[in-house]
């Protein structure tokens, strides 16, 4: 990132995208955190696709499930805050991609997969999870936090250190 150059208009758009995705993550996380005892068990039991077995197995292990619940609740919340602030943007995007990949795989809208409870739209292979995932890939690769976000300050501070040490 030595010679990072940012083209202004697209970077503003990507920053807006980052804030919106972060907002969604944060709200998903906070609603789970504030529900009396939210658990992914119901969702996991309905899982389909190549890793459905593993998801269902998870629901039979209360200790692992409790950890998965905690990781999901806090993970979504923290990733959300980081994305909104542009803090540790690339790490947060990477973790966010991981979460969404799991959500996508738990209920993949693949050919021949049908779901009893209708979602708000119609999807074939591509659903909103996948779109949000690719949005995070864009955020990851463009380093939007260093354009507009706390990463820019953080980056500046770290970059200054050697000079201060030398002085």
Roughly what angle, to the nearest 10 degrees, separates helices 128-142 and 8-34?
130
Regarding 137 and contact with other proteins (CB under 8 A), the answer is: no
Regarding 150 and contact with other proteins (CB under 8 A), the answer is: yes
Q: Smallest distance, Å, CB 102 to other proteins?
A: 21
From residue 75, alpha-carbon distances to 24, 34, 71, 72 in Å are 13, 14, 5, 5
Answer yes or no: are the C-beta atoms of 44 and 64 closer than 8 Å: no
Regarding 156 and contact with other proteins (CB under 8 A), the answer is: yes
Residues 63-82 that bind other proteins (CB under 8 A): 63-64, 66, 81
Residue with tokens 């609740």: 73
Out of 79, 84, 107, 136, which residue is the one contacting other proteins (CB under 8 A)? 84
Q: Smallest distance, Å, CB 125 to other proteins?
A: 28
């Amino acid at each position: 990132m030595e010679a990072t150059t940012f083209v202004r208009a697209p970077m503003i758009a990507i920053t807006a995208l980052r804030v919106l995705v972060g907002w969604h993550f944060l709200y998903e996380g906070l609603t789970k955190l504030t529900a009396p005892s939210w658990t992914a068990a119901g969702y996991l039991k309905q899982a389909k696709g190549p890793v459905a077995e593993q998801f269902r197995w998870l629901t039979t292990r209360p200790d692992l499930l409790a950890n998965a619940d905690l990781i999901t609740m806090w993970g979504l919340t923290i990733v959300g805050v980081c994305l909104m602030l542009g803090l540790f943007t690339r790490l947060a995007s990477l973790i966010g991609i991981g979460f969404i990949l799991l959500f996508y795989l738990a209920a993949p809208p693949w050919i021949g997969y049908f779901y009893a409870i209708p979602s708000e739209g119609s999807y074939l292979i591509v659903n909103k999870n996948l779109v949000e995932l690719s949005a995070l890939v864009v955020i990851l690769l463009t380093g939007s936090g260093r354009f507009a976000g706390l990463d820019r300050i953080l980056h500046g501070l770290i970059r200054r250190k050697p000079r201060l040490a030398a002085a």
